[in-house]
A = this chain, B = another copy of it.
C-alpha cells in the first residue's frame, strides 16, 4: 500500500485518449488520461463516469448543453447520457468508473482501448 502522486504517474506516458489505471477499489478503477482534440459521441449503458480535471480545460458536450470543467472541478456523467469530451489544449484528467467501463462506451472503433495498462 503506497500513495499515488498524480503528476508522477502522468509523467509516465504521453499519448492521448489512452487511459492508464492507477488504482482499484470496490470494483471501480481510478484512471489517468491525457486528452487533446475531440473525442466521439458515446454513452455507457451501465456505468456512471466521473471526470476530475487535473490540468487544462475540458469541455464536455451533451446533446442539450456544453460544460467547461477546470482544474479542481469534476463532473459525473450518468449512465445512458451521451457525451463528447473536447480538449482544445492539453488536458489531464482523473477518472473514476466501474472496472468494466470501456472508453468509447457503446461505440467500438479505432479509439477503443481495452486491456488498459496499470501504472
Q: Residues on A close to B: CB < 8 A? A: 1-7, 23-26, 28, 30, 47-50, 54, 62, 67-70, 72-78, 81, 96-98
Cβ–Cβ contact B75 & A6, under 8 A = no
Main secondary structure of the interface of A (DSSP, over half): strand
Alpha-carbon distance between A96 and B48 when the two chains are bound, in angstroms: 14
Alpha-carbon distance between A110 and B28 when the two chains are bound, in angstroms: 31
Of all chain B residues, which has the CB nearest A96? Answer: B96
Alpha-carbon distance between A76 and B26 when the two chains are bound, in angstroms: 10
List B contacts of A49 (CB < 8 A). Answer: 25
List B contacts of A3 (CB < 8 A). Answer: 67-69, 73-75
* Known contacts A1-B62, A62-B1, A69-B3; is-contact A50 B74 (Cβ 8 Å): no
Alpha-carbon distance between A67 and B5 when the two chains are bound, in angstroms: 12
* Known contacts A1-B62, A23-B50, A69-B3; is-contact A28 B96 (Cβ 8 Å): yes
Cβ–Cβ contact A73 & B25, under 8 A = no
